Amino acid sequence: MSKKLPLPIEIIALLLKHKRLSIHELEYHLAITKNEEADFKKLLKKMATQKEVKIADDNIVSLIKSARLCIYHANKDSRGGIAIDLKTKEQIIIHPGSDNYAIDGDEIAVMNDGVDKIGKPQGVVREVIKHKVTNIVGHIEQYKDKYYLVSDNQKLGNYPVVIDGVNKAYALDEVYNAVVTTYPSREQAYFTVKIISSLGHVGDDAVYVNRVLIEANVPLDFSDETLKYVEKLPEVINEQDLHNREDLRSLPFVTIDGEDARDFDDAVHCVVNLDGSFKLSVAIADVAHYVKHSSALDDDAFARGTSIYFPRRVVPMLPEKLSNGLCSLNPNVDRLVMVCHMEIDANGNITEYAVGNAVIFSHYRLTYTRVQNFLDGVEIIPEDITNNITALNRVYHALLNARHKRGAIDFEGHEPYFEFDDNGNITALKPRMRQDAHKLIEECMLAANVSVADFLSQHNHATLYRNHDRPSEKKFSALKSYLDSIAVQFDVTQETVTPKDYQKLVESIKERPNTDIIQQTILRSMQLAEYAPKNIGHFGLSYERYLHFTSPIRRYPDLLVHRACKAVIHDKTYGYIHPIEAMGEQTSFCERRSEELERKVDSYYKCKFAQHHVGNEYAGIITSIVSFGIFVSIPELMIDGLVHVTELGGDYFVFDEKKHVLVGKSSGYKYVPGMDVQVVIANVDMEKLFIDLELANVKP
pLDDT score of 213 more than 60 = yes
Is the confidence at residue 177, as pLDDT, over 90?
yes
**Contact by Cβ (8 Å): 217, 187:** no
- When pLDDT is cut at 50, 70 and 90, the band that residue 8 belongs to is low
| pLDDT of 1 strictly over 50 | no
Domain boundaries, the chain: 9-63, 68-130, 135-215, 224-455, 473-526, 613-695
What whole-number distance in Å separates Cα of residue 227 and Cα of residue 416?
35
How would residue 167 be classed by pLDDT, with cut points 50, 70 and 90? Answer: low
More confident residue, 155 or 3: 155
pLDDT in tens, 23-75: 988 888 888 888 888 888 888 888 887 777 888 888 898 877 667 889 999 99
First and final C-alpha spacing in the chain: 85
Q: Which residues of 145-184 are buried (b: 16+ CB within 10 A; e: fewer)?
A: eebbbebebebbbeebbbbeeeeeebeeeebbbbebeebb
Give the tens place of pLDDT for each residue, 442-465: 999 999 999 999 999 999 999 999
pLDDT in tens, 633-692: 999 999 999 999 999 988 999 999 888 899 999 999 999 988 999 999 999 999 889 999
Question: Residue 17 has what pLDDT?
Answer: 66
Q: What residues form DSSP beta bridges with 419?
A: 428
Check pLDDT > 60 for residue 359: yes
**DSSP classification of residue 75:** -
Mean pLDDT in the chain? 92
Domains 68-130 and 135-215 share a fold: yes
DSSP secondary structure string for all residues of 3-42: TT-SPPHHHHHHHHSSS-EEHHHHHHHTT--GGGHHHHHH
Nearest to 590 by CA among 551, 539, 554, 545: 554
Whole-number pLDDT of residue 9: 61
Distance CA 100, CA 97 (A): 7
Helix or strand (DSSP H, E) at 401: helix 383-406
CATH of range 135-215; options 3.40.50.300, 3.30.70.20, 3.20.20.450, 2.40.50.700: 2.40.50.700
pLDDT of residue 108: 92
Dihedral, 430, 436, 437, 439 alpha carbons, nearest 10: 90
pLDDT for 3:
44
Burial label, 582 (beta-carbon count in 10 A; 0-12, 13-18, 19+): exposed
More confident residue, 146 or 211: 211
Confidence band, pLDDT 50/70/90 cuts, at residue 215: very high
Q: Which of 121-130, 389-398, 688-697 shows the lowest mean pLDDT across its residues?
A: 121-130
d(CA 690, CA 682): 11
d(CA 91, CA 89): 6
Q: What pLDDT digit, counting tens, does each position of 545-571 carry?
A: 999 999 999 999 999 999 999 999 999
Cα angle 53-57-60, degrees, rounded to a multiple of 5: 50
pLDDT of 659 reads 84
Lowest mean pLDDT among 46-60, 243-257, 354-368: 46-60
pTM of the model: 0.88
CATH 3.40.50.880 fits 613-695, yes or no: no
Beta strands 246-247 and 266-272: pairing type? Answer: unpaired
**Banded pLDDT at 525 (limits 50, 70, 90):** very high
* Average confidence (pLDDT) over 271-276: 97
**pLDDT above 50 for 2:** no
193 to 117, 137, 140, 170, 584: CA distances (angstroms): 40, 10, 12, 14, 33
Confidence of residue 18 (pLDDT cuts 50, 70, 90): low
Given the candidates 2.70.98.10, 3.30.70.20, 2.40.50.140, 3.30.160.270, the CATH classification of the domain at 68-130 is 2.40.50.140
Q: Is pLDDT at 20 greater than 90 in this prediction?
A: no
